[in-house]
Chain A
Amino acid sequence: MFFLVISQLGCASSIYRTTSKPKEKNIITVTADRLSLHCEDLQSDEAEYYGFSIYVLDDEKTVVSVIQTNPLDKESCEERLSKIGKIIKNGKQMNIFGYGSLQDPRIPSKDMVQIGGRSFPSNGRVLQFIYITNEKGDCFNGYQTPGKSCAQE
């Protein structure tokens, strides 16, 4: 498992806010102290596959998973750790766009996730990662369509 530890900012500046648009397109507005990026070795019996996840600590101290739902090769997953890590370090406030429901009941699970040096339970909410931006306009799209702007999809 590879992951990126993002240094914790002061609690006073910590933000978690969600905006739901039609058709379950969600925007999570969040500060770096609530984020953790992971490339998980999927232990595939076919190839070396990794799963990319952004774990987000919500306002109930449970964790929402925002995942790229196709398995990745190691290089593509590490590229996400690096590029999204820079976006998070460069920005004060991130917008993460993903498809899925943030209205489902939270179901705390045994899966614990480390964020800011502490463990929190996953809450069963999973969004499909589309893209992340910061207030400076830095952006990364999980599907990287050539010729389209990052935030277009």
Chain B
Amino acid sequence: MARRSGKKVTTVHEHPRRVPPSSKNPNGVTIVDQHIRRVPGTFLDRDSIQKIYQEYSRKGIQYPSSDKLDQENADDFDEQIAVWTDYFNKIFKIDPPMDPDMIKALMDSESSFNTTARTKVAIGLMQITKETLKIMQDPKGEVKDFIFGKIRQKDLENPDISIPMGIRWLAWKRARAQSKLGRPPTNEEVILEYKGLLKSKSKWAKDALDNYKKSYEKLKKK
């Protein structure tokens, strides 16, 4: 039925599919046209995000530290952070792996754990921009090796969606920082790259990084 046409997609040939009988398909069979399908492990949409999250083995995965940050709801997203950090560390074989505390401190810095935080261009916990949303769903774009599909702007207010997307984007930013610097980036350089500020010399960037570091240190404090 399906033939490999590349690393990330398969071409599904025209084939019959059973459907409820109707005036259009009185025999209960329709013909599905040839179409492209992403190979599992290179694509997520709303349904597969939910399925993976529900079925993902929690055994041995690392959770972020809890009860350390200031906001009342700071620990509400720990499980999503743990699952999706582990998932993308494994998918991309990231070494050293991304640290769940780093994701949590970034979330603090981006939205103060406010799921519906919005500016004119950025939305949600991880403040994913409308432009980034397009890039992350473009099968020919810069993150074509692992993309999302059927995600709408309003979905970014849903932590179940915005967290895996934010972590996937952070993994890409990590690779990009390495490419720009010509060496493995520090965690702080990855955070600056996520914010689009790796080369910025501004006072604000310094203050924002300082604020991030304090959150991260709180999470690491025993």
Point out residues on A near B: beta carbons under 8 Å: 23-25, 38, 40-47, 49, 51-53, 65, 67, 69-73, 75-76, 99-101, 111, 122, 124, 126-128, 130, 142-146, 153
Contact = CB atoms under 8 A, between A and B. Distances in A.
Contacts of A69: 108-110, 112, 208, 211-212
A99 B112 contact: yes
Contacts of A100: 211, 214
Contacts of A130: 112
Given A44-B196, A128-B112, A143 B117 contact: yes
Given A40-B204, A143-B114, A143-B118, 12 more contacts: A38-B204, A40-B203, A44-B196, A46-B196, A47-B129, A69-B110, A99-B71, A111-B203, A143-B111, A143-B112, A143-B116, A143-B117
A143 to B, nearest CB: 4
B152 to A, nearest CB: 17
Highest count of chain B CB atoms <10 Å: which of A23, A70, A153: A70
B200 interface: yes
Interface of B: 69-71, 108-112, 114, 116-122, 127, 129, 131, 195-208, 210-212, 214
A25 B69 CA distance: 10
A73 B120 contact: yes
A143 B199 CA distance: 26
B199 to A, nearest CB: 5
A126 B200 contact: no
Nearest to A52: B204
Given A73-B121, A76-B121, A40 B110 contact: no
B211 A153 contact: no
Contacts of B69: 23
Highest count of chain A CB atoms <10 Å: which of B114, B200, B204, B212: B204
A120 B195 CA distance: 28
Given A44-B200, A128-B211, A70 B70 contact: no
Highest count of chain B CB atoms <10 Å: which of A52, A67, A124: A67
Given A51-B202, A143-B111, A72 B119 contact: yes
B201 A43 contact: yes
A45 B198 contact: yes
A40 B122 CA distance: 18
A98 B17 CA distance: 57
A121 B11 CA distance: 63
Contacts of A128: 108-109, 112, 211
Nearest to A147: B116
